[in-house]
Amino acid sequence: MVNFLIFGPPGSGKGTQSVKLAEKYNLMHLSTGDMLRAEIAAGSALGKKMSSIMSKGELVPDEVVIELIASKIDNTKNRAGFLFDGFPRTVAQTVALEKMLNERGMKIDSMLVLDVDHDELVKRLILRADQSGRPDDADPAVIENRIDVYRAKTEPIIDYCRQKGIYQPVNGVGSIDEIFGRLCDGMKTFLTR
């Protein structure tokens, strides 16, 4: 299996592009944000605990998302690989993911990082609030906090992956199809379709 991280700040387009990439390359798309929102929608005990953290734009504890991902990895059949979206978000999550994959004879093959400048991110998230109905998109202070948390806790993963030689930056500004094309170019050396 071939495993990709799709990476970038909130609003960089990870979710939109992941759905298209997963379909094109038969990848299992795993979004921890989607999984957590599903817990909230189902009214589970975990969802109730996580919703206040998420509505402030903070990260939920590492062990929560690691557990969510672990439960999916072994249940995935007939896919070319995994596409991790919004996970890992800390270096500790990255180390945990590598360990889970290594134990199963796999690795993170490539990290695709969508580059989008700050003003464009804020613009997109405010626009998205209307359609997404997400409370963390509706409040400009929460948006700024999510971007700050990304810079402080998530971005260090880029250096970690650069040292491993798996970092691939991608220009994240343009039309959805243009950006999709750039991501496909970055992925296709690893995949045959």
Selected binder of ligand ADP within 2, 5, 30, 54 (CB under 6 A): 54
Query: Scanning residues 98 to 157, which ones bind ligand ADP (CB under 6 A)?
Result: 136, 146
Cα gap 101→2, rounded to integer Å? 11
Selected binder of ligand ADP within 21, 36, 111, 179 (CB under 6 A): 36
Cβ proximity to ligand ADP: between 8 and 81 the closer is: 8
Question: Structure tokens of 75?
Answer: 């249940």
Contact between 86 and ligand ADP by CB under 6 A: the answer reads: yes
Cβ proximity to ligand ADP: between 57 and 81 the closer is: 57
Contact between 65 and ligand ADP by CB under 6 A: the answer reads: yes
Stretch that binds ligand ADP, among 38-46, 53-61, 103-111, 184-192 (CB under 6 A): 53-61
Residue 153 is classified by DSSP as: I
Catalytic residue among 49, 134, 162, 164: 134
Coil, strand, or helix at residue 130?
helix
Q: Which helix (H) or strand (E) holds 176?
A: helix 176-188
How many of the chain's residues bind ligand ADP (CB under 6 A)? Answer: 18
Stretch that binds ligand ADP, among 18-26, 50-58, 71-79, 105-113 (CB under 6 A): 50-58
> Looking at beta carbons, which pairs linking 163-170 to residues 24 or more positions away fall under 8 Å?
164/108, 166/108, 166/109, 166/110, 166/111, 167/111, 167/113, 168/110, 168/111, 168/112, 168/113, 169/113, 169/115, 170/112, 170/113, 170/114, 170/115
Cβ proximity to ligand ADP: between 36 and 112 the closer is: 36
Q: Is 79 a catalytic residue?
A: no
- In the numeric block, the tokens 């590492």 are attached to 62
Query: Scanning residues 146 to 185, which ones bind ligand ADP (CB under 6 A)?
Result: 146
* Residues pairing with 27 in the sheet: 81
Q: Is 128 a catalytic residue?
A: yes
Closest of 82, 85, 86, 88 to residue 106, by C-alpha: 82
Chain residues that interact with ligand ADP, rule: CB under 6 A: 10, 14, 32-33, 36, 53-54, 57-60, 65, 86-87, 89, 93, 136, 146
